[in-house]
Structure 1
Amino acid sequence: MASRICVAPKRHRLSSALIAALILPVAGVAFAQDAAKPDAEAPAKPTTTSATSLETVTVTGSRIGRDTFTSVSPLQVITREETTLAGFNSTAGALQSTAVTAGSGQINNAYGGFVTNGGPGANTLGLRGMNPTRTLILLNGRRVAPAGSRGSVGSADLNVLPSAMIDHIEILKDGASSIYGSDAIAGVVNIVTRKNINEFSVEAQYNVTEDGGGDETRYSLAWGKTGDRFSISGSFEAYDRNELNLGDRDWTKCNTDYRRTVTRDTSGNVTGVGAWGSADFVDPLTGRPKCYPITGTGSNGVTINTIGTNTRAGVGAAGSVGTTFNRWRPNSSITTGLPGFEGVGGGSNNLNVRDTFDPRILNRSLISPVEVKTGFVQGAYDLQALGNAEVYFELLGNRRESSQTGYRQLSLDYARGSLLLPASLQTSLFQAPPTEISNGQPVAVRAFIGFGNDHSSQTVDFWKATGGLRGDFVWTDWRYDFMVSKARSDADYTFQSFLTDRVARSLDVVAAPGGGFACRNAADGCVAAPFLTSQVIGGVLPENWKNYVFRPVTGNTLYEESTVNFAIDGPLFSLPYGQVRGAFGVEYRHSKIDDSPSVDAVNRNLFGLTSGDPTRGNDSVKEIYGEVEVPVLSGLKGAEELIFNLSARYTDYKSYGSDNTYKIGGLWTPVNWLTLRASYGTSYRAPALFEQFLGATSGFLPASNDPCNNYGADPDASVALAANCASEGLPGNFNATSSITSIGLGGAAQGLKAETSKNFTTGIVLQPEFSKNFGDLSFAVDYYKIEVENGVARAGGANILDFCYNDPSFRAGGSYCRVVAPRAAGSNALTVQDSYFNLATDRVRGLDFTVRYVRDLGPGTLRTTLQATHFLEQSSKLFDGDPVRDVNGNVGSPSMSATLDTTYDWKNWKIRYGLEWIDSTQSYGYYGLDRETSPFKMHTEDYYLSNVSAQYKLDKWTFTGGVRNVFDAEPKTISQSGVYNRVGNAPLYSGYDYVGRSFFLNVQAKF
């Protein structure tokens, strides 16, 4: 997917038709180039239409209309034709590709089983490796409101974009808060639709994977009509993506720990290192490394087909050690100890002696399915009054229906003395404190049951209506634009959950007349829980009981945003080398969020699942902004062009008060083939509504995330970790039995502050003049630095615990431990508060490179574009006084990425080869490990993705087909270390292709 450098030292007047010819790759200043290869020295003739004549254009990154397509800041332009030729079947896929994101991780359909902002199924975009709330998405220069489900809705969902009507996309990789508002910190993406259409067109595309699952289909139609005084156009499209399950790919069928053995002598010196996987637990039942073990996070397994009791003597299962156990698996051949059961846990036993894998785990979604329907209409009418004014409007409507398949474990607590227990277990004591389902009694037995698959779904209805009036002020060269916009996202989200009160009632039984058991309280149709048998422990459960306790629950999320904007732009006065132009405006925005979880979620009645309070709040902002562009020199020796751009904005939030932001930029072209540019700006971002008002949400992390879990048996446990766990009275063989409670909460009540940032960018563009036989060569390099102060974020419960317990200061002064509550008495359970608060520092620095080469070759034209990004820093610190932690180059945060795009055009044909490269990564230094001796594989190798395609055009038909991931490159592997979430043995990272080799065909017809 190519992009373009845009530089125009010569002044040309451009029309909307010529803008479509601005197809140079990347970077920064923009220039008109050969659509039909006109004489480069001749001024381009403006193209007029019946409805509107555009003699100036506005480039993303500025509000000033100008007669040159130039930009002080780095600007990347991607056309619709390029995304089609690259094989993308959605705008979301194109925007989240390496060519745009520079290898930084994005939230896409592979995150359906994880808690993400916007809820499952949402696709968001964050530039420069920063949070999506710091990237502004525009549609025709006007902001796209957030959409999604659950309480954390704060970013635009790329699913709402009208792909069928998109002409090109402009990506500003620079801060522009003073021009566009507070959330334009890391960059701005402007989706520009096609205008002045006089045709009817249809399009269909099908992407099919070689190994099945994850296929994509899109159908669309577009139409338009332009008259003497009006223009109107619209589109409708339907996009569908099938589900891709873990069982559909070989690399996700058997998740393992993927660790290696490290042997040491009596002095602790390393004497040998094994191959990767050599330290994995070998399943005694198969003789091979265990699939889906329970020793970490990610897509690992869970304890199933097991019961927990007090520690007692018994017969151990194959692979177990010792003679006393507190975890048991049914085995009818055992007649001593605990008859009918063999020991699989307790003492120094490896957790993986237990059963951890259920084939139904492989039904989980790797890529969640989605159906999207989008309608878009735009139009304008010339009033022939009020200064050639025209009334315009846009209406966007979208429905997303997404779903996910998960897997559930059921931990069923049978009370001491329960009639549902066999006599041999009624006096057991697994846990003295009662639980929420043991009806106030001590727990005798906890049954770890593989319940099976569960399902969740989301239906998100989004619409955005925009209307406005724009024209010229009479007797002046100034223009005005008054706009009103309203957007609304209305989402229902449904998931299946055990209801705590129903599970508890079903376990409180009495003997029923005639045999069997009945609920003590059967007023609501209660169905008694099953008597504990080997079949029940194995997951064979009565359907009527499952239907009673396992119910769908539904919540609703409503997000609304209203915007009013009035802007003017035009010449202020003349200088010797041109006119000083300005743009000024005022804007008012009001937004509100109302997330209403299900009644059971609010009442904390979801057994083993997240519970939450409503998220409700609103905010408004009033802004005044101005921008001035000053042409200092032009057409002189040593100063072909020298311009400065200055912008400022006054922002007044209802919630966070007021502040000023500004940006200063300059562009200097000393000679025709050399352009230098630089800019410096500030920003002020009030926290998003969900960051302020998120209702208290209780979630759960697996017990295996407890840093003290069996710490004495871990040879790689840090000295600080062992000391900190021991200080809490925990033995080395401590076995965590309770899930970790993670409480998320908005930060408004905790004094959350607005975040501020600074953004500096400087670059150089070289376009040397060669002979026609050599071709055209362009080169651009930009340095950028973004530093956010008081950045709003959550650290993540697992990260907080990891850093807290590995901190030598621990609770005496460790910063992360401030939000970790002391362990609960009796159960030793942990509670961590993962709320939104202000990070002291969040900083990224890097370099962008672009090389473009074009030349006539044989009967056609060869175009090659190379884009590369080199992050120099991706760092942050949580509290003042903490050390700065730089994750640059770590797993999931590559320091370098690049794309190569080569096309050859001749006659009706176009052939393309695309290459995406993501640099190798490693996290050993970040976690204080030695790469040569670490038992964990915490590095990935270089990743290459090749794509080939061809396009053929007839008069009214266009056919495009090709192969993505030609060599079927699989994601790279890492070890389970409790640090990174994984899919199979690969990191959860959007830069890798989870689908594998796929084929696509796109057909377009115009009438």
Structure 2
Amino acid sequence: MTLKTNKLRDAISFALVGTSALAASGVAFAQEENKDAGQLDTVVVTGSRIPRAELENEQPIITVSREQIEKQGFSSVADILQNLTSAGSPAISRANALSSGEDVGGYYIDLRNLGASRTLILLNGKRLGVSTSGLQDLGQIPMSAIERIDVLKDGASSIYGSDAIAGVVNVITRKNFEGAQADVYLGAYDQGESKQDYSFTIGANSDRGGLTFSAEYSKEDPVLGGDREFSRYGNSGRNFPFSGWSLISQNGVWLGGNCSSGLCTLNRGSDPRDPNNYHNITPAERSNANEVMYVQTGLERKSTFLSASYDITQNIRFVTDIGYNKRITQQQIAGYPGNYGFGLLSANSYFNPAPGADQYWFRRFWELPRRTRSELQTVRVSLGLEGSFDLNDHLWTWDVGFLSNENTNNKYARGDAYVPALQAALGPSYLNSATGRVECGSSTSPTPYGTNFGNGECIPFNPFLPYGQAGQGSLGNSALQAFLFPEYHDAGKTQTTDYTANIAGSLFSMPAGDFGIAFGLEHRSEEGRFVPDAVNQAGQSTGLPATTTQGSYSLDEAYLELEIPVLADLPGAKELTFNVASRYSDYSNFGNTTNNKFQMRWRPMDGLLVRATYADGFRAPAIADLYGGVGGSFEYYTDPCGIGAPGTVNGNAACNAAGVPVGYVQLGQANVPCTVYPCQTNFQFLSGSNPNLSPETAKSKTAGIVWSPKFADGLDLSLDWYDVKIDDTIISDSVDNILNDCYRNGIAARCAGIVRNSAGAITNLFYGLTNAGGLRTEGYDLGVHYRLPEFSLGKFTLDWQTSYTSKYDQLADNSADTKWVGYVGYPGIFRVRSNFGVDWTKGDFSIAYMARYYSGMKETCASAPRPCSDPTHIDTYGNLDKQNRTGSNTFHDLQFSARLPWNATASIGANNVTNHLGPIMFSAPNSSFPYYGGFDIGRFWYVKYQQRF
């Protein structure tokens, strides 16, 4: 005999797979099981620890069933969840080629646009492991192992602890799987980049237990910027070729050379030592870095997952989940834009076209694109005992568990020059008549020729030789590449260890039902480290300097949840139930916090449910937030004190007090005056962690109704309102926010970290992490789901999900003069997201269609040649903030499936079947290109085949 809770669990699993109504209303009505008892026992649902006789809940939950997963043309958990209307922008977009670190290539979910670190991910009710930055990778779970996905769109820190501010995603894996199943997924864009996924699942069961094993392999090709129209021409987009191309060209630039502009490049094929062989560089000879950058990173993943259970006794069961995942991510951006800042070409270099004086140069190292290969291995082991017993004629359940989740990360990168070697290669050199080679040093003081800088060897470099032109000193020389560009290795590891104990049941019976209670204890520890290559730590490469992240913390928690039935089976009150919960958390680093939750479930009549919640929430700082050290970056920003800046305030009191000269012009890369804003600095700005951070705190409120009218069988309607406010957010100020507050808004406290030189240029600006400001969002979720009665043409199901964001405001800091600024309508924060689906089935054939709608976006359009539909817009502070608004976007997906006589199913379909592309967005939201990183990048065709044995 199995545990009592299994009777309902099996029935509920069947109900979840068999009805897609859950996705519309967030409510599941318990199915009666034809057993001798005549009724079902209880089950625990996501968002509560108290077992109940039905899944109908006072909380807004969406459930994505196995059937729904298979009817979509996506091959990852995150892609499916990202298309929920309540999902925000991708956390670490694979369209952002400039992203780096251990999180790149992972699959993350961001509910309500509150950030992926504020959405808690569970696997079978237990936490996933986190990276040092606090992100949880859904990609470690094989799609083939998933039974369903519960998405709780409500705060749940009182039940689960930290991170559950925006909501909870609980991935439930297959249990009691019998037989075997093989799946093949093959797809490609019109342009040819492919995706493939192969999986196999096998399971067996007995009277006392069962085992399910899944294995999966997937691979996705990278997408090059040059292969998409919107990414081909850099930050200017498809409409303005050459705009945004870099003066630091792969053809080499001699500054102050023998040409009229002083920006000279070699006549291709001529002698670079002759100063008369140079001409003014033309726009077409500049560097278009985007054409070799990845629009979408390449990805390869191997994963296995084992789930098993065994009944030790009639009422005690052993359960375990064991998972392994290896993720390999490939990134590529253009070769480094080398320049004289790393060393002048020596006056005594053999390659100097004007010997006797050091020469200034630019040269993008086009021959060596900066490539990064990240490998992340995850090993997860979950062990537990669970059981049940009767006490005073009430069923009680208990469980104890242990979880270990270890992530090991290794990153290998090549393409950034080793600065000491570069300086040596630019130094004195001569033609060795004995070898016929140009070698470092001089004939009287030669340096050994070779690739090992550590052994005193050297190979000279000619920065004026264009890409593709052979000759001595050419970067096409593999030996010179080996000398200048070593491979860098970063390594990291995170470890989550968790011990849990829970007990739940009914204390006594009341007239309206049983008084439920759940109580639990948890001890968890998090430790992590990420160690960059020693060269990067020392700041000796052309890449960004980085520091080690290393630290740990632990916590002890206890929670209590009560279910209080007040009224039942009365006129106007078929049910009125209250649920209260509280969780106490004691952290080793910042102290303790208590979070409470109050919920109400009222059913005035059959088919109508009214629900409401009020909840506290919190997010503890991640290890990287606390112990991440300090790193540098070359930021894009707009200096309000520059005369060319949009809405310049050059000459005002704040700029004058900072010593900025009247008429100052902001300088960008290579100290060239900025003409397009924001403009990238030539100086590294520092940002970093803070060991004294406190947790973020939150208040969330929801209220909603669910109606299944009797007069329309199969129709389910739901409407939910939400309001979330987060205080003491962990933020790293943007450079623009700091500058605007200091110079435009007159907030003197914001000026302290800005360092300028005598010419007025900003040479350093620290914007480290702090608890400051806040975030608040408010909106509505509407669900309409209609299962039409079956007739001669088959079965039709209609599903319409819409999320409306009425408010999304941010407070940059806690200064008295700082105002809440609204961001609804900016890329990723859509006013309206809506999905409409039609599912048709007749016999062995089915068709699934979905339209994904996104309302229009807006962005600043201060600098030409950007289009500008609202040139008179005034921002929150009363300043002119020109904006451009784009239209809405709709993507259409279509899939046709057929069940085959040999126990197989074949499907063919297309995501974005109309090949729709979004608008050019100059702000490059969630990407490295002028395109929103959450949109489809083309039409994607696929075929799927499933064979059951």
TM-score by length of 2: 0.87
1:527 aligned to which of 458, 463, 467: 458
The answer to whether structure 1 residue 593 and structure 2 residue 503 are counterparts is no
Counterpart Cα distance in 2 of 1:802 and 1:308: 34
Q: For residues 566-581 of structure 1, what are the structure 2 equivalents within 5 Å? A: 566-581=501-516
Q: CA RMSD in A?
A: 3.2
Q: Secondary structure at the match of 1:875?
A: strand
2:690 aligned to which of 741, 747, 759: 747
Moved more, 932-941 or 129-138: 932-941
Shift of 1:930: 7.3
Please tell me whether the aligned partners of residues 83 and 94 of structure 1 are also in contact (alpha carbons under 8 angstroms): yes
Residue 162 (structure 1) aligns with: 142
Please tell me whether the aligned partners of residues 90 and 108 of structure 2 are also in contact (alpha carbons under 8 angstroms): no
Residue 320 (structure 1) aligns with: none
Residue 45 (structure 1) aligns with: 34
Residue 493 (structure 1) aligns with: 411
Q: Secondary structure at the match of 2:840?
A: strand
Residue 362 (structure 2) aligns with: 447
Moved more, 241-250 or 485-494: 241-250
Shift in CA distance, 304/801, structure 1 to aligned 2, threshold 3 Å? farther
Shift of 1:27: 6.1
Q: Secondary structure at the match of 2:550?
A: strand
Q: Secondary structure at the match of 1:911?
A: strand
1:111 aligned to which of 96, 114, 117: 96
The answer to whether structure 1 residue 701 and structure 2 residue 632 are counterparts is no
Q: Secondary structure at the match of 1:473?
A: strand
1:153 aligned to which of 124, 129, 133: 133
Q: Secondary structure at the match of 2:701?
A: strand
Counterpart Cα distance in 1 of 2:318 and 2:568: 37
Q: Secondary structure at the match of 2:457?
A: coil
Shift of 1:659: 1.4
2:828 aligned to which of 892, 905, 913: 892
1:683-722 Cα distance to aligned partner (Å, 9 max, x none):
23221111111122222236xx46379x5456x4433598
1:985 aligned to which of 905, 930, 935: 930
Residue 347 (structure 1) aligns with: none
Shift in CA distance, 155/47, structure 1 to aligned 2, threshold 3 Å? farther
The answer to whether structure 1 residue 209 and structure 2 residue 195 are counterparts is no
Please tell me whether the aligned partners of residues 707 and 717 of structure 2 are also in contact (alpha carbons under 8 angstroms): yes
Residue 418 (structure 1) aligns with: 347
Sequence identity (%): 21
Shift in CA distance, 734/916, structure 1 to aligned 2, threshold 3 Å? closer
Shift of 1:513: 5.0
1:226 aligned to which of 196, 205, 217: 205
1:254 aligned to which of 233, 240, 254: 233
Residue 200 (structure 1) aligns with: 180
1:533-583 Cα distance to aligned partner (Å, 9 max, x none):
443798942332221011110011100000000000000111101101111
Residue 509 (structure 1) aligns with: 428
Shift in CA distance, 184/340, structure 1 to aligned 2, threshold 3 Å? same
Instruction: Name the aligned partner's letter for residue 754 of structure 1.
Output: P
Residue 328 (structure 1) aligns with: 264
1:457 aligned to which of 363, 369, 373: 373
1:998 aligned to which of 922, 929, 940: 940
Residue 126 (structure 2) aligns with: 142
Residue 957 (structure 1) aligns with: 904
Residue 356 (structure 1) aligns with: 286
Q: Secondary structure at the match of 2:21?
A: coil
Counterpart Cα distance in 2 of 1:938 and 1:721: 28
Counterpart Cα distance in 2 of 1:718 and 1:404: 37
Shift of 1:179: 0.4
Please tell me whether the aligned partners of residues 877 and 884 of structure 1 are also in contact (alpha carbons under 8 angstroms): yes
Counterpart Cα distance in 1 of 2:375 and 2:321: 23
Please tell me whether the aligned partners of residues 22 and 30 of structure 1 are also in contact (alpha carbons under 8 angstroms): no
Moved more, 549-558 or 832-841: 832-841
Shift in CA distance, 375/508, structure 1 to aligned 2, threshold 3 Å? same
Residue 153 (structure 2) aligns with: 173
Counterpart Cα distance in 1 of 2:619 and 2:463: 56
Please tell me whether the aligned partners of residues 304 and 354 of structure 1 are also in contact (alpha carbons under 8 angstroms): no
The answer to whether structure 1 residue 397 and structure 2 residue 324 are counterparts is yes
Q: Secondary structure at the match of 2:744?
A: coil
Shift in CA distance, 600/973, structure 1 to aligned 2, threshold 3 Å? same
Residue 784 (structure 1) aligns with: 722
Q: Secondary structure at the match of 2:795?
A: strand
Equivalent residue pairs, number? 890
Shift of 1:463: 1.0
Instruction: Name the aligned partner's letter for residue 216 of structure 2.
Output: E
Please tell me whether the aligned partners of residues 775 and 809 of structure 2 are also in contact (alpha carbons under 8 angstroms): yes
Shift in CA distance, 585/202, structure 1 to aligned 2, threshold 3 Å? same
Q: For residues 717-728 of structure 1, what are the structure 2 equivalents within 5 Å? A: 717-719=647-649, 727-728=659-660
Counterpart Cα distance in 1 of 2:83 and 2:665: 46
Shift in CA distance, 18/858, structure 1 to aligned 2, threshold 3 Å? closer
Q: Secondary structure at the match of 1:834?
A: coil
Counterpart Cα distance in 1 of 2:749 and 2:11: 60
Shift in CA distance, 447/12, structure 1 to aligned 2, threshold 3 Å? closer
Q: Secondary structure at the match of 2:334?
A: strand
Counterpart Cα distance in 2 of 1:209 and 1:353: 32
Counterpart Cα distance in 1 of 2:9 and 2:709: 20
Q: Secondary structure at the match of 2:634?
A: strand
1:73 aligned to which of 59, 62, 73: 59
Shift in CA distance, 462/615, structure 1 to aligned 2, threshold 3 Å? same
Please tell me whether the aligned partners of residues 582 and 626 of structure 1 are also in contact (alpha carbons under 8 angstroms): yes
1:365-384 Cα distance to aligned partner (Å, 9 max, x none):
11111111110111111111
Q: Secondary structure at the match of 1:451?
A: coil
1:91-150 Cα distance to aligned partner (Å, 9 max, x none):
12112224451x53443422243247x432122111110111111111111111114xxx
Shift of 1:618: 0.2
Shift in CA distance, 718/47, structure 1 to aligned 2, threshold 3 Å? farther
Q: Which runs of 5+ in 1 are unaligned?
A: 1-10, 35-42, 259-275, 281-288, 295-300, 317-324, 345-351, 429-442
The answer to whether structure 1 residue 689 and structure 2 residue 623 are counterparts is yes
2:220 aligned to which of 241, 253, 257: 241
Residue 3 (structure 2) aligns with: none
Shift in CA distance, 982/681, structure 1 to aligned 2, threshold 3 Å? closer
Residue 272 (structure 1) aligns with: none
Instruction: Name the aligned partner's letter for residue 677 of structure 1.
Output: R
Residue 838 (structure 1) aligns with: 771
Residue 437 (structure 1) aligns with: none
Residue 629 (structure 1) aligns with: 563
Instruction: Name the aligned partner's letter for residue 889 of structure 1.
Output: G
Q: For residues 235-384 of structure 1, what are the structure 2 equivalents within 5 Å? A: 235-255=214-234, 257=236, 289-290=241-242, 292-294=244-246, 303-307=249-253, 309=255, 315-316=259-260, 325-331=261-267, 339-343=276-280, 353=283, 355-358=285-288, 361-384=290-313
Q: Which runs of 5+ in 2 are unaligned?
A: 1-7, 449-453, 672-680, 873-880
Residue 30 (structure 1) aligns with: 27
Counterpart Cα distance in 1 of 2:522 and 2:17: 30
Shift of 1:966: 1.2
1:763-796 Cα distance to aligned partner (Å, 9 max, x none):
11122211xxx54322111111111110112234
Shift in CA distance, 229/981, structure 1 to aligned 2, threshold 3 Å? closer
Instruction: Name the aligned partner's letter for residue 319 of structure 2.
Output: Y
Shift of 1:161: 1.1
Shift of 1:805: 6.9
Shift of 1:460: 0.7
Q: Secondary structure at the match of 1:164?
A: helix
Moved more, 576-585 or 76-85: 76-85
Instruction: Name the aligned partner's letter for residue 96 of structure 2.
Output: Y
Counterpart Cα distance in 1 of 2:276 and 2:560: 81
Q: Secondary structure at the match of 1:865?
A: strand
Counterpart Cα distance in 1 of 2:809 and 2:36: 48
Please tell me whether the aligned partners of residues 567 and 573 of structure 2 are also in contact (alpha carbons under 8 angstroms): yes
Residue 42 (structure 2) aligns with: 56
Instruction: Name the aligned partner's letter for residue 577 of structure 1.
Output: A
Residue 480 (structure 1) aligns with: 398
1:409 aligned to which of 322, 325, 336: 336
1:710-744 Cα distance to aligned partner (Å, 9 max, x none):
x5456x44335988667423744554326231323
Counterpart Cα distance in 1 of 2:40 and 2:567: 26
Residue 4 (structure 1) aligns with: none
Moved more, 168-177 or 852-861: 852-861
1:266-291 Cα distance to aligned partner (Å, 9 max, x none):
xxxxxxxxxx95xx5xxxxxxxx425
Please tell me whether the aligned partners of residues 112 and 121 of structure 1 are also in contact (alpha carbons under 8 angstroms): no
